Structure 1
Amino acid sequence: MQELLEKLAALREYLDIPGKTRRLNELDKELEDPNLWNDQERARRVTQEATTLRRVTEGYASLSSDAQGLSEMLDIASDDEKEMLEEEQASIQQRVDDLYRETLFTMKHSEAPAIIRIKSGAGGTESQDWAGMLMRMYIRWAERRGFKTEILDQQDGEQAGITSAEFIVRGDRAYGMMAPEHGVHRLVRVSPFDSNNRRHTSFASVDIVPEVPEEQIDIHVPDSDVRVDVYRSQGAGGQGVNTTDSAVRVTHLPTGLMVAIQVTRSQIKNREMAFQILKQRLYDIEVKKREAEEMKARGEQKAIEWGSQIRSYVLDKQYVKDHRTGVMRHDTGNVLDGDIEEYMWAGLEWLAGKRAAENNDDE
């Protein structure tokens, strides 16, 4: 119990509860101002920040009160009574762990929806099947959390899987949770497509960016910088999706970025959405470029990236290992069915530690 109280005290300092409380009081005064609602965007930002701060400060206050009360009860309880209080102590410990996780969302726009692009690597059917397995894994994870998914584009492989897919996951801190999944994922297995039962290694890339509100993205894309192609929709899309050339592919010539959208039957709407996603990706590139310049200014030469091969899924030996965090599990079926939160939380700790180390170097 003493260790738990010490952890709570450390969290109070780490979370800067007094500072957050002062800031929340300022925001509450703004929310009481009727003129705030004349500017819908500012009202949205103030409301969102206040909601986040309230969740942390009120959560900490309730937890601190309950922990202190339990500590006082344990001081005067008999041995039999202490056994009865063990369950309550375990509950408080879990709440402390949950509060600690509030400290891990150190990336910008952690509250935003996540835009995910999965692309198969070289290797034909093997890699395409692997890319399809990854897409299913993330969609199953989203379903487990009660999140919503929207498939924007899906290019099916010739025999199995996908060559590429783009989809959005919407839910509480969708981008924050998914950010550690960005990188190259490696599959090793005895191929179901190889009549000689040989062992194959396949790769697929997972690219994840936040869906930042359009008004926050100050990026102009000249018409001369893009090529727009239209084609007939394929893959997921519902009955009648293939009846018109409604799918749109936008290629940004200076960077080579390509965004394909076939989510609606309207070519105009697909085009608008493709340009929105393109701006999101260009914005993400610009943010990472600024971070790289900051690192270079303080003498660090390494690029801002989360590594190439971040995780290996070795099915014939029944394990999935994350190469950054060391987390390894042997229930590969559950992992591929979306049970990946252990990897995500470990990845968030890794990212938070990485960013803290960079900040210390800067100081």
Structure 2
Amino acid sequence: MNADTACNFGDRTAIVDDQTYRVGLVLGSEAPTSRSHNPLPLSWGNSPLISGCPPERERSTCPVWDSFMSSIWPEDEEAVRALQEWMGYVLSGRTDLQKIFMLVGPPRAGKGVIGRILTALVGRKNVCGPSLASLATDFGLAPLVGSSLALVSDARMRKDSQVLVERLLTISGEDTVAANRKYKEPWIGKLPARLMLMTNELPRLGDASQALAKRFLIVSMTRSFVGNEDTGMEGRLRAELAGIFNWALDGLDRLDERGAFVPPLSSLEDQEVMDDLSSPVAAFLTEELVEVPGERVSTDAVFDRWRMWRDRNGHSPTSKSGMTKDICAARPHLKSVSQYDPDIGRNRRFFNGVRLASRVRAAAGEV
């Protein structure tokens, strides 16, 4: 079998150029009963796994891929299962779970190989490779039109980009977008591309509400193969594309049954860091303010504490009004209201229901 001809029959169907193909149990002779009445629409105009050769007796497996997964996550089956479900989700063509997948880890950890194998499964013509920076440009959405996967291998950002945050939320949220294209009319519609980031470090994406950070499904990688690269690994994996395809669809079955992705426990720390990077003010609120019914604190006092916390943690300066706006986005129930202050004999703005944490407790991370 080669990359141009692969047998794939079973109980799932793919719709390509208005033609229906049976796919799913690649090289398999038995179809899973769980999908006997649940066709799976796949948009694979160039997938190497759409063909019409007769099924063989044995269901294709992927022992080299399984070994590769074990070498990356030797004691983290949850991470492997999360990747498996994501790859099945990408193959399914679905966007309804509104997630952005992120592989984060050191150089030479296997991110690129995983991305190229998924590209081979989906089909190169169905994959685009923007950078985060390019997505924020005028024509940044154009490559995503007609793509089923946007593979972002450069997730570095020199500065926060509100345009980028809005676009990532719009794409992952299945909203209608207007994609500007050079010398063409703007394309208007819902982009089918799933977003997958592969990065050595977590990006800083400013969003005080943390709505974008919650969209990410992060899978962390800790092992680097620098100095121990297996240059023949990718070739051996490509010989198992049919089996990896089956492996991914097994993950899709599990995802369908559960109805949602489950983040690996090993990635929770990175998720917390991502939350803090996206919304420093949310981290500030957790560390420096305590919610106490009946109490209040002036916005001036909060801003003084915020400036000290911001400088201590290396965040960019913001105005008092900017801080107040971000606090209201991070904690919608906290409102800045004008109230009389007997200490100064006039009105000033307060946050009600909170007080400042004691300096000792805040410094110790206890509130």
> TM-score, length-normalised on structure 1?
0.25
Which is richer in helix?
A: 1
More RCO (CA 8 Å, sep 6+): 2
> TM-score, length-normalised on structure 2?
0.25
